[in-house]
Amino acid sequence: MADPKKHHFSPVFYLKGWCGADNTVVEYSRPHSKVVARRVPPTATGFKLFLYTLEGQPEDKKQDIEKNYMGPIVDDRAAQALGILVAGDKAALTGEMRSHWTRFLLASLLRRPLAIDQMVSTFKDILRQNLAADAASYEAMKTDDDPPTAYEWLEKNFPHHIDDRGKQMVIAGVEHQGIGDVIINMKWSTLDMSASDHELLTGDLPHLRYYGLKDQRCTILFPLNPTKLFIATHDRKAEAAILARSPTEVVKYVNDELARLAERYVYGRTKEHLRFVENRLGRHPHPTQLEDRGTPVDFQPMR
């Protein structure tokens, strides 16, 4: 089997939840000044060619992150958990399934192209600082032909090493046990939004989080399909506040957040959201990889 070239940051199994009878999803994007809506199969969107490629590795290892981690460990397992969450089968939501879904939630933050770039950039900054802190060791061993600093020596002799290590840090972030344990132990629910006048959208950043993870007010929202919304809280007060609102208000609020936060794509089942997305896509600064969303969920009426 050929190594995957399309590295999906919006996984195919997840986008299938927004497919119509023709097995396509409506992709909203802004290729130029205007947002356009087009029907595409989930395999044809939400990817970047060779996004996680490890250029410094042997040919048979270059696609390891996509081929051996994102696919089988993150997405295949999360697909099982998604089915359970959509069905609302609490008995089947075992510790193992909660672990699978938590991994997917964290991956949704870290696998995006912008997040990958930020991870690589952060790793470079840390590495440069660490090497500069021990400059004397490099000075003692470098020759006249060597670059002035250890960081430049590394760039010269191992040109892909730094980028590769930055990309591999994505896995470390997704597998962070401390963060994962907090989410696994939150109170989870699947909220039914089928009574809303509109369907839920999703996008290339579908993970909405409010307050810090250990804050008792912390709320995580994540659309599961056009009518089901995942929520995780510590004490269910935020969940009660959401359920006190009409489904239409909740869906409008979530769609507004998703459309504003999207880096490139918003997805729906129909094209009815074109004007809504046009007014929002790309209108919000993108958060960094694990930065908390700024404001609490208050579900004020949309203006």
One domain, residues 191 and 265: yes
One domain, residues 193 and 272: yes
Instruction: Indicate whether 168 belongs to any domain.
Output: yes
One domain, residues 205 and 248: yes
Mean pLDDT of 179-202: 97
In this predicted structure, the answer to whether residue 87 has a pLDDT above a threshold of 60 is: yes
**Which pLDDT value is given to residue 287?**
53
For residue range 131-148, list pLDDT tens digits in order.
999 999 999 999 999 999
One domain, residues 75 and 117: no
In this predicted structure, the answer to whether residue 301 has a pLDDT above a threshold of 50 is: no
For residue range 93-102, list pLDDT tens digits in order.
999 999 999 9
**What's the pLDDT band for 300 if we cut at 50, 70, 90?**
very low
**What's the pLDDT band for 159 if we cut at 50, 70, 90?**
confident
Residue 140 tokens, joined: 């003692």
Question: Which one is predicted more confidently, 296 or 51?
Answer: 51
- Which residues neighbour 261 within 8 Å (Cβ) at sequence distance 6 or greater? 203, 205, 208, 284, 286, 287
Mean pLDDT of 221-235: 97
Instruction: Indicate whether 257 belongs to any domain.
Output: yes
For residue range 280-297, list pLDDT tens digits in order.
998 765 554 334 454 444
pLDDT-above-90 percentage for the chain: 88
One domain, residues 189 and 142: no
**Which pLDDT value is given to residue 286?**
55
Instruction: Indicate whether 285 belongs to any domain.
Output: no
**What's the pLDDT band for 157 if we cut at 50, 70, 90?**
very high
Last residue of a domain, one of 174, 198, 223: 174
Is residue 26 within 8 A of residue 18, CB to CB? The reply is: yes
- Alpha-carbon distance of 209 to 297, in angstroms, equals 9
Mean pLDDT of 32-51: 97
Strands 187-192 and 265-268, by their bridges, are: unpaired
**Which of these ranges, 189-203, 232-246, 283-297, has the smallest mean pLDDT?**
283-297
Instruction: Indicate whether 65 belongs to any domain.
Output: yes
One domain, residues 159 and 227: no
One domain, residues 245 and 258: yes
One domain, residues 220 and 77: yes
Question: Buried (b) or exposed (e) across 147-163, using 16+ Cβ within 10 A?
Answer: eebbbebbbeeeeebbb
- Owning domain of residue 150: 113-174
The structural domain count of the chain equals 2
For residue range 254-282, list pLDDT tens digits in order.
999 999 999 999 999 999 999 999 999 98
Backbone angles phi, psi at 256, to 5 degrees: -60, -45
- Alpha-carbon distance of 258 to 250, in angstroms, equals 12
3-state helix, strand, coil in the chain (%, to 5): 45, 15, 40
Instruction: Indicate whether 226 belongs to any domain.
Output: yes
Mean pLDDT of 6-18: 98
- Alpha-carbon distance of 134 to 116, in angstroms, equals 28
Please give the mean pLDDT across all residues of the chain: 92
In this predicted structure, the answer to whether residue 54 has a pLDDT above a threshold of 80 is: yes
- Alpha-carbon distance of 297 to 101, in angstroms, equals 22
